[in-house]
Structure formats: structure tokens, C-alpha cells
Amino acid sequence: MSQIQQITQFQCAVCNEPIKFDPENPTTFESKTTHEKFFGMQLTTYRVAHEIGNERHVNTVVVDHKHLFRGHKDAFVEQIDKLEEEKRLWLVSQKPDALHTHPYLENVFIMDRIDSWVMEGLGSEKVRLLELARLLDKKVEEAERVYETLPEEMSFTIADQDLRIWINNSRVACVTAKGAAAITSIKILLKELTKNTHRDAIPDKRLLILGLHVISEYPKINPEILIRLASDDRLYSKIEFGFIPRIPSIVERVERKYPFAKEILMPLLSGTASVINLLEQGQIGKISQIFDMLDYVDRRGLLR
């Protein structure tokens, strides 16, 4: 029987300060999501915040059934970005940085009209994003007066920008595109990211950026891949595989079906990288084959 420890510890991804919380005590964290098993581990995602000076650092972490920290999902700093006399919007400063070019899209952002934040995924250098967001907020307000119920999808023109937006309660996802090629894919990604499981949970910017990379390579990718990327928290966990000597034979077996198995399975099984890490480190182009391979390994019970 494994020993369950009371307190979970990890380092703040923003300032490196050690943070402790008690997974059994809801007053020590902001929200919690439990997941299906992943390579034999029962994983849970927690959102934990601490304050330093006039900043608030919010960390989302994946924890296993023994309350051991398994990986960071994301972290960000809350900041106020001033806008003269108008509604105050703040720009989510979470890493990675927004993209500046994309083959199919021009601008992509998500905003929350109640919590007043804006998350930039893609921004052309010539557009002032916070201004665009503030004007969009007014357009949506106008539409709220006109319609009994707001349509889920709308189009607006601001300056000469043609905006496509999708609304989910206070969340608005907005796109300006270079053409129609990637509209369906970006819509699926943004709708998944603006699903509001926890009122205070801001969508993960890493996933927005990864999703934009996927769509730049495959504008018409299978929607299930985008949905899994955006919603499967298990992809953030580094795994613990107890049978190191067996790794080469497992890899060899999987390699017969998936020639790239070694570069994915070695770092994954030796616990040095999570699936998300691997996608960020240049494997994004193989995303559907990687998901396929993980399912194959799990289904065959190769790790048991």
C-alpha cells in the first residue's frame, strides 16, 4: 500500500517560490478536476494561487493519487492594464508569447466580458489588440440589446477588420482570417477552450498556441484531435514507469507499427517529458499519430 502524503508541494512557475496546498482541503486551492487513469496513475488537476506584492501568481498543476506533484499545466500573473476612462481590460501574460504570423489567420483572441481579461493567441503587429477587444465588447453589448437571446456566432466589422466571434456566456472568442480554409478548425478549438468548467479558470494559453500551430500545418484536421488537445489534462503529466529495463523491448514492439516510437516513448516512459512538452518541442506535426500510438500502448496494456 502506498503512503498518501497530506500536503502537496511544488514551485511557483512564475517566481519559483515553494507553494504548498492540501488536496483534501478545498480552502487551500481554487478548483479541482479529476481525470480518468493515465498509464496507471489517477491524476487530478488543481488550480492554486499565491500573492506577492501586488501580483497574483496562479498555477495549474497535475497531481497523482499519492498527492505527489506530477507537472505544471500552466501559470500566469494577474495584472491590470489601464485603458483611459473606458472599461479596464488586462492582458493575460501567461507564456508562451502570442504568434505574429499564421498562414490562414490574422488575429485570434479570447476575452471574458465579466472578468475583463484578454488572451492573445495570434496578433498582427499593426493591430492594437486591447482597443479591438474594447470596441468588440461594445458591439456585443449592442447585440445584447437587440436580440432576445444572443446568437452563439456573430460577425462584426471594426475599422476594416472582419471579425468572426463565438460567444459562451461571458467568454467571447474572436478571429480575423485570411480566408475560409481554417475557419472550421479554429472554431472547434476556440469553442473547446471557452467551455467554462470553472468560473475562475482562464483557458490555457499553451493550448491555444499549440492549437494554432496544428491548424497552420493541417487546416482541416480531424476535430477530435483538436478537442483532445484542448481538453485532456492527462497530457500534462510526466509519468512514472516502474520497469525501466522493459522500456527497450516495449519501444521495439511499438516501433514496428509507429516508426517514430523511440523519440516519443523514451522521454515519456523515463519521466523526462510530458506529451505536451513533446508537442511543444517540435513533434506537433505528428500529433494525430502520437495520440494514436498512446491509445495503442494503453489498449495493448504494454505498460502493465
Q: Which is nearer to Zn ion, 72 or 286 (CB)?
A: 72
Q: Which is nearer to Zn ion, 57 or 206 (CB)?
A: 57
**Per CB under 5 A, does 14 bind Zn ion?**
yes
**Per CB under 5 A, does 15 bind Zn ion?**
yes
CA dist., res. 186 & res. 229, Å (int) = 13
Q: Which is nearer to Zn ion, 11 or 42 (CB)?
A: 11
Length of the chain, in residues: 304
Lay out the site mask for Zn ion across 29-58 (x = CB under 5 A, - = otherwise): ----------------------------x-
Q: Which is nearer to Zn ion, 14 or 174 (CB)?
A: 14
CB of residue 57 vs Zn ion: minimum separation in angstroms?
Answer: 3
CA dist., res. 208 & res. 214, Å (int) = 10
Q: Which is nearer to Zn ion, 4 or 15 (CB)?
A: 15
Residues from 57 through 86 that contact Zn ion (CB under 5 A): 57
**Region near Zn ion per CB under 5 A, out of 12-20, 124-132, 144-152, 188-196:** 12-20
Residue identified by cell 446568437 is 151
Nearest to 61 by CA among 127, 109, 118, 13: 13
**Per CB under 5 A, does 193 bind Zn ion?**
no
Q: Nearest-CB residue to Zn ion?
A: 12
CB of residue 213 vs Zn ion: minimum separation in angstroms?
Answer: 28
Contact between 293 and 254 under an 8 Å Cβ cutoff? The reply is yes
Residue type, 282: G
Q: How many CA atoms lie within 13 A of 264 on its CB side?
A: 27
Host H or E run for residue 120: strand 117-122
Residues from 118 through 177 that contact Zn ion (CB under 5 A): none
Q: Which is nearer to Zn ion, 102 or 206 (CB)?
A: 206
**Per CB under 5 A, does 7 bind Zn ion?**
no
CB of residue 18 vs Zn ion: minimum separation in angstroms?
Answer: 10
Contact between 5 and 67 under an 8 Å Cβ cutoff? The reply is yes
Q: Is 36 exposed, middle or buried (0-12, 13-18, 19+ CB in 10 A)?
A: exposed
CA dist., res. 278 & res. 284, Å (int) = 8
CA dist., res. 4 & res. 210, Å (int) = 34
Q: By CB under 5 A, name the one of 12, 63, 111, 122 that touches Zn ion.
A: 12
Q: Which is nearer to Zn ion, 47 or 171 (CB)?
A: 47
Query: Which residues 6+ apart lie within 8 Å of 283 measured at CB?
Result: 263, 264, 290
CB of residue 69 vs Zn ion: minimum separation in angstroms?
Answer: 15
Residues that bind Zn ion (CB under 5 A): 12, 14-15, 17, 57
